[in-house]
Structure 1
Amino acid sequence: MKTLKRIIKNVIAILFAVLFLATSIAAKAQNPSYSHEELAFMPATQLIELYKQGVVSPVDVVNAQKAQWVKTNGTINATTFVHFDDALKLAKVSEKRYQKGTNRALEGITVGVKDEHHDKNWVVTFGSNVHKHDPGAEDADPIVAKLKEAGAIPMIQTTVPELYLNFVTSTKAWGTTRNPWNNEYAVGGSSGGSGAALAAGYCTIATGSDMGGSIRIPAAFNGVYGYKTTPGELHTGNPHSYFAASGPMARNFTDMTLMHNVIAGPGKYSTNVFKHQPLATEYENLEGVKIAYVGGMGIVEPTQEVEDAMQDAIKTLREAGAQVDVVKLNIGLTPDEIAHTISSLAIAGPMGGGFSAYEESIPEMTTYGGHFIAKSLKGEYTNKDLLQAELKVKEMYKNIVDQVYEKGYDIILTPTMPTSHIPADYDFTQGNLTVDGTEYPAFIGMQYTLPFNFLNWMPIVNAPAGISSEGMPIGMQIIGKPYETESVFKVAFNYNKLGIKLFQGKDMPVTK
């Protein structure tokens, strides 16, 4: 009897051992080992699924993205302050939430936060020596608060041009931020550090804001998606500055949409924000959608490389079922008028009112920061200029309606910039820029984006359209009619599904 019991016991032990071995082999098959780089660049949607399965922990991703930062940020210089210790604590909380099944919409997803938005006790420097030693914020701003409530992990603060006044991110306070794709070139501005951090794998999603192209330009320079929201979608610190808005940035369309659905809608102190209806992450094809490709809009012509990339993107949209036609559009503004109009809207409005505080600080400011402060102090922009700017906005929209919408088109397609080949430390106050033998106006990076800040009611997604001969991403703007956001997202979804994908291993940025 004892012998029989011993045999049975041994058989059971063997069965358990076999079962454990089989389980281990199956687990190994289901739980592949990911490299730091793979985790750093992995989309939020994929990470969330792996977190749910227990295959990967948010702690792994924080460590992986920190490793990317250690490896390359000495060259890229995309951050002001980092918060890795706090991020690890939040990642451990997220890990437990997944284990308990109490995970939230963006649980464990890391965020790069533009040096404008902030968590509690964070210092916002505005990219300026003037503010580098300011006290920390008393509370998180509404956008970061919403992200944290959804389980996201604010991990780094990202660089900006001084007072957000340039489309290139280079300051006395923090130095020059360089593009991960080609370190000689710019990352854009003013959300330049956010774009670079996404391209370099320092975070999974990032915050941006857009007053003259400040989401779309960095998104284009860095090969990522960015959404310029419409007034009333997100909380804004300046309710009367209708031409400025915050928005999401990510390496693909779906992640951008997931983030937008979290941050959109009113916060506790929002005065002018609508209730948000979540946007879909998937749409049907583009059958019946009419798209007008309008090129340089009568402002300046894009380089041949940019035009070639746009033609490739047009082919992709046609494959998705859209009718895409070349349509002649002249918005009726010269490059100089565009620059003067945005200066009038900003400096003759609320922003200019705050510039008087910087009169004694001009010597310690970056050239372009001092340039705008000086103009404001001299009274170069008045309420008469503001009125003229408003009239220009009305004229421009009339031209768009008459030349595009009246012909039955739903969507406008343009390049985001005439060229991606703008030096990392470019200073527009020093004169015009020559690219590939062509002289462009000093505000070259904003010529195609600024008109749609004047018409900020028009939603826009930047999507990557190609790579230049210098290894730089080329971006395109998908522009909708006022407040028709779903039509823009439908086009962006279909393009993301069929179009160029820049973060697929072999094509990812390589820091020189």
Structure 2
Amino acid sequence: MLNEYQQYDGLGLASLIRKGEITPKELIESAIEKIEELNPSLNTVIHKMYEEAEETLKSLELSSTFAGVPVLLKNAQQDIKGHPLTLGAKILSGYISDVDAEYVRRLKKTGVVILGQTNVPEFALLAITEPVHYGPSRNPWNLNHTPGGSSGGSAAAVASGMVPIAGGNDGGGSIRIPAAFTGLFGLKPTRGRTPVGPKKGRSWQGASVDHVISKTVRDSAAMLDETHGYEKTAAFHLPEFRGSYLDLVDKPLEKGLKIAFSIESPIGTKVHPECKKAVLKTMKVLEELGFEIEEKAPEIDGKQLAESYMTMYFGEVAATLANIEKIIGRRVSMKDVEPATWLLNQLGNKVSAGEFVQALQVWDQSAIIMESFHEEYTFYITPATAYPPSRIGELDQTPLEKLLMKAVGTLNAGGLLKRSGFVDELVTKSLERTPFTQLANLSGQPAMSLPLHLTEENLPCGVQVMAARGREDLLFRLAGELEHSPLWIRRP
């Protein structure tokens, strides 16, 4: 089975089980063998749950949608009762979840068998997965390159064939960026589409949403069918979707729909030619399929939006460390976390309540603009990222930056840095490689990354597609159509 295992997606494997062509035990053994073979070089699975998987098989309901399908979950937000949730941070190495996250509870009801948890950057903050505590995850397409972040471990696991589906969450691109870097399908649902409880009502002020990274569009659609819906404790609610996303994947869209696209960075930074090429050749195919194409971007101040995102980012890091202090019963010090995390914490503690509220107002204004934009254009298409995958270590802080971070931490000089103009430089440096994805998080829209291009170095480059809030149905229909096109890349 091992040689055939990687040929199937999750629904395909579940079908084999229901037909009796393979037993759940044989399937899980194949997945475990593949994880053990590949993980030493990829460093993607940081916690294994093989014994619990054996227990799951004993009570498996074969009629479930994904009965017996092996999956991995992200080691951030996706709490599994009785197992670690470290968020890639050494300071949380002893923390054990006391309850399943509501998303995980719904995921389990689909019949999946959880084999472990995947690597993330510290506190899931970065678009690369290179935590000091666990070490870097590597891209299966080229081990010298990153699989992206923060769901980088999950993306590497799926792209390498360890599992067909892995959990992710996306607060600024953390599903779409790694999907783009590893040649996979990654959808960030609309804010409020999937649950965030039971211990909280929102994640990153509503910017972060849970879902999966998958090889195929239909796996993502079927999983959203199973996990979406009302959660009474959630801060954000959507009208219930009364259909099946899976049924829509093979339903082509009406021709003549208007599509807007842009290949320019919303913050005025460089976009790599390969990333532009990915969009332009996609637009050519869509035009040939009968869609009306126009190069146009929404009238949103990209730099202001980026600053509002980073204001939330700073505040969330400061709040995270404050909450950790309650868990560990002592103050968190500079030595407990990575230098970049401590710097963000310092800046977060200098953000005023007024600044934070103003940042959220920018989000709302952007959402209003995008709703009007989508009254004319069904889709808005951009590169998923501004650059192909970086090399491992390429984005490390320079010695001067590390010295500055240490000085700021030692002197508690976050306020001084904030006044110096350093924050403006930090915003640009943090987002120059991934400036396209944050808009959907802040406006609350659904957005997806499609694997439609390979660079000359044989590295994947994703194309992002956004739709109006609540319109995942449109995204799945477009993705299903493009999945059958010659553009869709498939790893041999």
TM category, shorter: 0.7 to 0.9
Alpha-carbon offset, residue 222 of structure 1: 1.2
Quick check: 1:363 aligned with 2:329?
A: no
Deviation at 1:212, TM superposition (A): 0.9
Percent identity of paired positions between Structure 1 and Structure 2:
22
Shift of 1:266: 3.3
| 1:394 Cα deviation from its structure 2 partner | 4.7
Are 1:463 and 1:477, in contact at CA under 8 Å, matched by a contact in 2? yes
3-state SS of 1:287 partner: coil
Contact 1:179/1:424 (<8 A) preserved: no
Partners of 1:93 and 1:320 lie apart in 2 by 47
Matches within 5 A, 1:122-201: 122-134=83-95, 136-201=96-161
1:463 aligns with 2:435: no
Which among 208, 218, 221 is matched to residue 244 of structure 1?
208
Structure 1 unaligned spans of 5+: 1-33, 433-439
Task: Give the 3-state SS of the residue equivalent to 2:466 in structure 1.
Answer: strand
> In 2, Cα distance between the equivalents of 1:155 and 1:106?
14
Residue aligning to 2:414: none
The equivalent residue for 1:392 is 362
Select the residue among 294, 310, 314 that pairs with 1:343: 310
What's 2:344 paired with? 372
Q: Quick one: which of 48, 61, 85 aligns to 2:27?
A: 61
| CA RMSD across the alignment | 2.5
Question: Is residue 194–residue 207 contact of structure 1 (8 Å, CA) maintained in 2?
Answer: yes
CA distance in 2, matches of 1:112, 1:268: 27
SS at the partner of 1:190?
coil
- The one-letter code sitting in structure 1 at the alignment partner of 2:37 is K
Return the offset for 1:387.
Answer: 3.1
Matches within 5 A, 1:9-408: 34=1, 36-91=2-57, 93-94=59-60, 97-98=61-62, 103-116=63-76, 117-134=78-95, 136-237=96-197, 238-240=200-202, 241-267=205-231, 269-270=233-234, 272-274=236-238, 275-277=240-242, 278-279=244-245, 280=247, 281-299=249-267, 300-329=269-298, 331-334=300-303, 337-348=304-315, 352-356=318-322, 357=324, 360-376=332-348, 379-394=349-364, 396-397=366-367, 400=370, 404-405=373-374, 408=376
For residues 90-134 of structure 1, the C-alpha deviation after alignment (integer angstroms, 9 at most, x for no partner) is 34644xx54xxxx21211111110002132211101110001112
Which ranges in structure 2 are unaligned for 5 or more consecutive residues?
A: 326-330, 402-427
The structure that has the greater radius of gyration is 1
Mean CA deviation greater in 300-309 or 249-258: 300-309
Which one-letter code corresponds to 2:360 in the other structure?
E
Partner Cα separation in structure 2 for residue 225 and residue 166 of structure 1: 20
| Deviation, structure 1 residue 354 | 3.2
Q: Residues of 1 paired with 2:115 and 2:64: CA distance?
A: 18
Structure 1 residue 258: Cα displacement:
0.8
Is the alpha carbon distance of 1:354 and 1:298 closer, same or farther for their aligned partners in structure 2, counting shifts above 3 Å?
Answer: closer
TM-score (norm 2): 0.84
Partner of 2:143: helix, strand, or coil? coil
The CA distance in 2 between the partners of 1:332 and 1:271, in whole Å, is 27
Q: Deviations over 1:359-387 (max 9, x none)?
A: 533213223222212222xx321222223
Q: Contact 2:180–2:462 (CA<8 Å) still a contact in 1?
A: yes
- 2:436 pairs with 445, 448, 453, which one? 448
Structure 2 SS opposite 1:184: coil
